[in-house]
Homo-oligomer: A and B are copies of this chain.
Amino acid sequence: MNKTDKRDEILRAARELIAEHGFHGAPMALIADRAGVGAGTIYRYFENKDVLIGELHRNLEERLYPDILTGYLPEQTIRERFLHLGTALLHYFITNPLDYRFLQQFYNSPYGVDHRRDKILGIKEGSDVFCTLFSEGTSQQVMKDLPMVVLFGLYFGPLLAVARDHILGFIQLDEELITRTVAACWEGIQK
């Protein structure tokens, strides 16, 4: 096993354990076991657990964004792009439940709040797809004139909730239900 492999194994093991049992069901010793390395080896690749977790988050975004952006066409209407991102997001979480669970854990820990604070304060940079789409939507009057944060809530709130309930087995999301759910979100947000 070469250096990159080992690093990847550690990340994979950590992601799995955190997704399955939460941050506190993922001690370093277990991560090491599952990655097939010694406990000390982890510290050759990551300064400490916080850094490892931060890296997991970066790593996830690197897989999530390309995925939901394939087929995303800036020339489509705002509504079409809204529906695309929403369904793509749901699909991603359904096919990568571990990633969903990790994100859930992440945003409910001190790490996540800081991260979100930075992101929201940095909205003006507008580099984020969702920010761009939503500010376009409000300025073109096709979305309600509500603060960006509220629009985000109306969008991600329901999506994350149904994704959670699908993953927990409380509901079975199929193609039609996904479409109808995202459409309902749109109806809440559209002017």
* A interface: dominant SS: helix
Interface-located stretch among A43-51, A53-61, A125-133, A156-164: A156-164
Does A41 sit within 8 A of B, measured CB to CB? no
Across-interface contacts of A156 in B (CB, < 8 A)? 157, 161
Interface-located stretch among A32-40, A65-73, A77-85, A178-186: A178-186
Across-interface contacts of A104 in B (CB, < 8 A)? 108
Q: Are B189 and A120 in contact (CB under 8 A)?
A: no
Q: Are B22 and A168 in contact (CB under 8 A)?
A: no
- Tell me how many chains of this kind the complex includes: 2
Q: For the complex formed, measure the closest distance between the CB of A83 and the CB atoms of chain B, giving whole angstroms.
A: 14
Does A150 sit within 8 A of B, measured CB to CB? yes
Across-interface contacts of A110 in B (CB, < 8 A)? 22
Interface-located stretch among A1-9, A92-100, A141-149: A141-149
